[in-house]
Amino acid sequence: MKAVALTRPLPIADPQSLVDVELPKPSPKGRDLLVKVEAVSVNPVDTKRRMAEKTDAAPKVIGWDAAGTVAAVGEQVSLFSVGDDVYYAGDVGRPGSNSEFQLVDERIVGRKPKTLDFVKAAAMPLTSITAWEAFFDRMKIDRGGKDGGKRLLVIGGAGGVGSIGIQLARLAGLTVVATASRNDTVQWVKGLGAQHVINHREPLKPQAEALGFKDFDYIANFSGDLDSYWPAMSELIAPQGYAVAIVGNTKPMSLDAFRMKSASFCWEFMFTRPRFQTADMIEQHRLLNQVADWLDAGKLKCTLTEAMSPINAANLRKAHAKLESGTMIGKLVLSGWA
């Protein structure tokens, strides 16, 4: 089967950073589906993993966001059948989706939204899982609306995670203040439903106060920077509030402000469930199906903004370069095998 792989960490401008390869087609066992991959999205985890690989390793397939069709199933599969269209992020501990066929555990796979083609569907899974788990599983926001009217600050509103996060938060009835720093991203986050926008290149607290927000019940830092925003998050978290981050800190973080306010700080890592095979990993199947229902019902909008074809090393190098520029709005998807 065709695949795009890396063998050693190289800057994306190097033609050897991602290369076209032929690999054996895998066979499913147990609860695995073998999926014929039709479209893949790119995420910052891809660029980070690309640079983290050991030198001269065997070809490694990365990419964890896909839509495709079930081509074969393991003997214990019960949720899907051959021919079903699916979308999923997968497991960062296993080969990724930048290959014609991929094995994935059925418990972390959802049915593809019927109203979206493969390209649009592939834009959604990884970021939807991240934002959903951050809000509803980590910060315990009630998705049925019982927390309606509470105030949420989304740092990094226009990225992949922020773009679906703003929409999920509005569906749960929250009042959303999102951050964006360029005209295009300000317009984008407003279009997704953010009621207010502030600029993350300027101090956040005075901007929030000018809008009448002295603090926030929830803060979701969906940017790739926790260190720089931690002081503002500490100032802006409400007493007994919840904050979540999706990247690690590289400097020590004082928890004193959170302690004084009895506020909670949570991490969200969307690969935790598959990586540790948690007893509730089937929650990713359920949430992807719910997101598919909401996309089909028009309650959520697809966050795709850029598409390329085919899926090959040259196009994936362009896609990684775009992500590494830090200017991505919404999602970028590649589709088809030449």
Which residues of the shown chain bind ligand NAP in the complex (CB under 6 A)? 43-45, 130, 155-156, 158-162, 179-182, 185, 200, 222-225, 246-247, 268-270, 323, 326-329
Write out 218-266 in H/E/C secondary structure. Answer: EEEECCCCCCCCHHHHHHHEEEEEEEEECCCCCCCCCCHHHHHCCCEEE
Nearer to ligand NAP, 70 or 246 (CB): 246
Q: Shortest gap between Cβ of 323 and ligand NAP (angstroms)?
A: 5
Nearer to ligand NAP, 183 or 262 (CB): 183
Looking from the CA of 147 toward its CB, the CA atoms found within 13 Å total 23
Task: Determine the longest span between alpha carbons in the chain, in angstroms.
Answer: 59
Q: Which residue number is nearest to ligand NAP in terms of Cβ?
A: 159
Supply φ then ψ for residue 319, to 5 degrees.
-65, -45
Judge contact between 103 and 32, C-beta under 8 A.
Answer: yes
Q: Shortest gap between Cβ of 23 and ligand NAP (angstroms)?
A: 26
Judge contact between 126 and 274, C-beta under 8 A.
Answer: no
Strand partners, 68: 37, 86
Q: Shortest gap between Cβ of 194 and ligand NAP (angstroms)?
A: 12
Strand partners, 102: 35
What order do you get walking across the sheet with 216-221 strand by strand?
196-198, 175-179, 151-155, 216-221, 237-245, 264-267
Q: Shortest gap between Cβ of 277 and ligand NAP (angstroms)?
A: 17
Structure tokens belonging to residue 320:
């990684």
Q: Shortest gap between Cβ of 77 and ligand NAP (angstroms)?
A: 26
Nearer to ligand NAP, 148 or 224 (CB): 224
Structure tokens belonging to residue 287:
């949430």
Nearer to ligand NAP, 130 or 284 (CB): 130
Q: Shortest gap between Cβ of 147 and ligand NAP (angstroms)?
A: 22
Structure tokens belonging to residue 18:
């991602």
Nearer to ligand NAP, 153 or 237 (CB): 153
Nearer to ligand NAP, 22 or 227 (CB): 227
